Chains A and B, each alone.
Chain A
Amino acid sequence: MNESVTRALTTIARYTALSLLLAFFTLPLLWLAFAPFDRTPTIAASLPRFTLDNFRQLLENPQALRSLRNSALLAAGTGALVVVFSALAAYALSRVRLPGRDALLYVLLLLSSIVTGTAAMVPLFNLAFELGLIDEQLGVILVLGGGLLPSAVFILKDFMDGTPRSYEESARVFGASPLQIVRHVVVPLVRPGLATIAVWSVAQVWGNFLIPFLLLRSPEKSPAAVVMYTFYTEGGQPDLALIATFSLLYSLPVVLMFLFVSSRYGFRFHGGIKS
């Protein structure tokens, strides 16, 4: 075959593949883009007859807004907990040689990817029950925090390992105390890492369905993930306008946060995953 024909065919094949990919990934999202603005949204994705009424209605739905507030509370609580605790632990583990440190980290990491959520459903439920944490948002925060911490420590330790020690030594020669060193020097240096962890844990909690579904009983405490699920599973005709606008509103914060962090720091795990 002629060289230029081969090349042309390759190019065509490549663009066809990319177009198919784009179609595959776009198709399910179309509904989310159109339905919220449609006067009479149906289950099919179609160009909307534009309106913002659906949003007005959503703002009048107390359950929807309350669930978003609950999600925010859970996400902020877990995020703060994970960032503070993992930063302290990662710093100590990065700087002080404790015996068996690396093996411990790997075991915890593996355990967290296995245990989190499903496999430990029963004892987590039991534990929350024994501690009186059923139907308490604190219970969800603690359980999610415990599950996210190993990965957070692992990723952050990598950031800490990457900062030169002379910064801290320099501060130390000038007489700074360990806590001053952490505050003045370490935290500013690993800010991108802290941001990554914050975004990552907030996003995990924001989208998590199982744990709040498992541990929270009263609808007033349920986060958006659970409420959204009840919108389309609980009897009767689903209110598509409500589902559509709520989906969009519920998705927006994570998307915005992701865009912010990836433009500011580049969303990466800083070599946290190595070959």
Chain B
Amino acid sequence: MAAISLTGLTKVYPGDVTALDALDLEIRDGEFFALLGPSGCGKTTLLRTIAGLESATGGTVAIGEREVTALPPGRRDVAMVFQDYALFPHMTVRDNIGYPLKIRKTPAARRSAKAAEVAAELGLADYLARRPGQLSGGQQQRVALARAMACHPSVFLFDEPLSNLDARLRLEARTFLKRLQRELGVTTVFVTHDQAEALALADRIAVLEAGRIRQLGTPTEIYRRPANTFVASFIGSTPMNLLPGTVRGAWIRVGDALLPGPIGTDAAAALPDGAEVVYGIRPEYLRYTAQHAADVPGALPGRVTVIENLGSTQLLTLDPVAGGPPLQVTVPEDLPVTVGEPGYALPRPERVLIYRDGNLL
């Protein structure tokens, strides 16, 4: 088990495509760590550079006490689970799990015993003689995990570990994965583009964009206080409303309406009147009401244009009366609403975030 530290890590592909831009990152020993971001943000390149499948063009990678920047993948003491699991189709489950040991010249008998032992831990004991093609997606994933565990590496690297499973199985596998990581206590880095997966699994998350870390923190920190509008719009199952506004004392003017400024920080209040900001509020923290006294501030008037039933809640899309971008409001599933009705969105002040020049104040 080991910590991972990356210093000034840079990866430039031929043709001057910068995938990683002087990246510094410390991943703690035993941590379950997520690299999160949209396609092309560099998260997979980062994982592959830690594995040694890509060589860094600058900076260093250290695993535990060892600097491994120049070492080939096989000597870094890491194990990787690929998105498509990469189980060898021509080998049985037993041979697949035993493969890392075969490379280390472990005698066949010990290899077989070890494979059986790890398979049993993951509930695969009955499938040892099968080939990957005869297994379900969830079983294949566990074989891939077993193969990674068989050689007791000091770091696990997972590339989109859940993306090849169907929706229901994915939730099951997520819980399984989290428990497994907790029990093994091995430092684990995984890549995902699914913010819900990152929030659910990780101890800490690094949100990446264009080869840089845009925010590093626990799931709670990242969900509650996205450091910039990029992270704000990326995190959350329904994206945060980001409305252009101007400062008006303790209030923010959005369209014609005055909305409450944030509570618990005076950063916004310190801005001069008329300063342009972005008013951030998640749909979950907006309250919806059909009636509101016209002269009381704190509510944004609009008209309901779309209603989406999400099961336990409904998601309303509200076109502001004063024009501007539509905003979304989450309401209980039993609230009677009809398309076309006028209504008001009221922010919860303690959940309001103010961004200036893209960054959180």
A interface vs B, CB < 8 Å? 164, 166-167, 169-177, 180, 184-185, 188-189, 191
Stretch of B70-78, B259-267, B319-327 lying at the A interface? B70-78
Distance A175 CA – B150 CA, assembled complex (angstroms): 14
Distance A193 CA – B72 CA, assembled complex (angstroms): 30
Q: Which residue of chain B is the closest to A175 with respect to CB atoms?
A: B74
Do residues B84 and A164 form an inter-chain contact, with CB atoms below 8 A?
yes
Tell me the total A-B contact number using a CB cutoff of 8 A: 56
Do residues B75 and A175 form an inter-chain contact, with CB atoms below 8 A?
yes
Q: Which of B117-168 contact A (CB under 8 A)?
A: 151, 157
Distance A172 CA – B51 CA, assembled complex (angstroms): 10
Q: List 25 A-B contacts (CB under 8 A).
A: A164-B86, A166-B82, A167-B86, A169-B53, A169-B86, A170-B80, A170-B82, A170-B86, A172-B53, A172-B72, A173-B52, A173-B74, A173-B80, A174-B74, A174-B79, A174-B99, A174-B103, A175-B73, A175-B100, A176-B74, A176-B103, A184-B88, A184-B99, A188-B88, A189-B90
Do residues A169 and B100 form an inter-chain contact, with CB atoms below 8 A?
no
Distance A184 CA – B84 CA, assembled complex (angstroms): 19
Distance A173 CA – B90 CA, assembled complex (angstroms): 19
Max chain A CB contacts within 10 Å: which of B72, B73, B78, B83?
B73
Do residues B100 and A174 form an inter-chain contact, with CB atoms below 8 A?
yes
Do residues A166 and B83 form an inter-chain contact, with CB atoms below 8 A?
yes
B89 cross-chain contacts in A, Cβ below 8 A? 189
Given A173-B74, A174-B99, A175-B100, answer yes or no on A166-B51 (Cβ-Cβ < 8 Å).
no
Distance from B71 Cβ to chain A, minimum over Cβ atoms (Å): 11
Distance from B79 Cβ to chain A, minimum over Cβ atoms (Å): 7
A176 cross-chain contacts in B, Cβ below 8 A? 74, 103
Given A166-B83, A180-B103, answer yes or no on A172-B88 (Cβ-Cβ < 8 Å).
no
The one of A167, A173, A189 that contacts B73, using a Cβ cutoff of 8 Å: A173
Q: Which residue of chain A is the closest to B48 with respect to CB atoms?
A: A169
What is the predominant secondary structure among interface residues of chain A facing chain B?
helix
Distance A189 CA – B72 CA, assembled complex (angstroms): 24
A-B interface, 5 closest residue pairs, ranked by CB to CB distance from nearest: A175-B74, A170-B86, A166-B86, A174-B100, A188-B90
B269-286 interface mask toward A, CB cutoff 8 Å, 1 = contact, 0 = none? 000000000000000000
Distance from B272 Cβ to chain A, minimum over Cβ atoms (Å): 55
B interface vs A, CB < 8 Å? 51-53, 72-75, 78-80, 82-84, 86, 88-90, 99-100, 103-104, 151, 157
Do residues B99 and A169 form an inter-chain contact, with CB atoms below 8 A?
no
B74 cross-chain contacts in A, Cβ below 8 A? 172-177
Distance A166 CA – B73 CA, assembled complex (angstroms): 13
Distance from B151 Cβ to chain A, minimum over Cβ atoms (Å): 7
Do residues A173 and B103 form an inter-chain contact, with CB atoms below 8 A?
no
Do residues B104 and A175 form an inter-chain contact, with CB atoms below 8 A?
yes
The one of A169, A175, A185, A191 that contacts B88, using a Cβ cutoff of 8 Å: A185
A172 cross-chain contacts in B, Cβ below 8 A? 53, 72-74
Distance A169 CA – B103 CA, assembled complex (angstroms): 14
Distance A84 CA – B277 CA, assembled complex (angstroms): 67
Given A166-B82, A166-B83, A180-B103, answer yes or no on A173-B88 (Cβ-Cβ < 8 Å).
no
Distance A167 CA – B90 CA, assembled complex (angstroms): 11
Distance A174 CA – B80 CA, assembled complex (angstroms): 8
Given A164-B86, A166-B84, A189-B90, answer yes or no on A173-B53 (Cβ-Cβ < 8 Å).
yes
The one of A173, A180, A184 that contacts B79, using a Cβ cutoff of 8 Å: A173
A167 cross-chain contacts in B, Cβ below 8 A? 86, 88
B72 cross-chain contacts in A, Cβ below 8 A? 172
B86 cross-chain contacts in A, Cβ below 8 A? 164, 166-167, 169-170
A185 cross-chain contacts in B, Cβ below 8 A? 88
Q: Which residue of chain A is the closest to B150 with respect to CB atoms?
A: A174
B84 cross-chain contacts in A, Cβ below 8 A? 164, 166
Max chain B CB contacts within 10 Å: which of A174, A176, A188?
A174
Q: Which residue of chain B is the closest to A191 with respect to CB atoms?
A: B90
Q: Which residue of chain B is the closest to A165 with respect to CB atoms?
A: B86
Do residues B53 and A174 form an inter-chain contact, with CB atoms below 8 A?
no
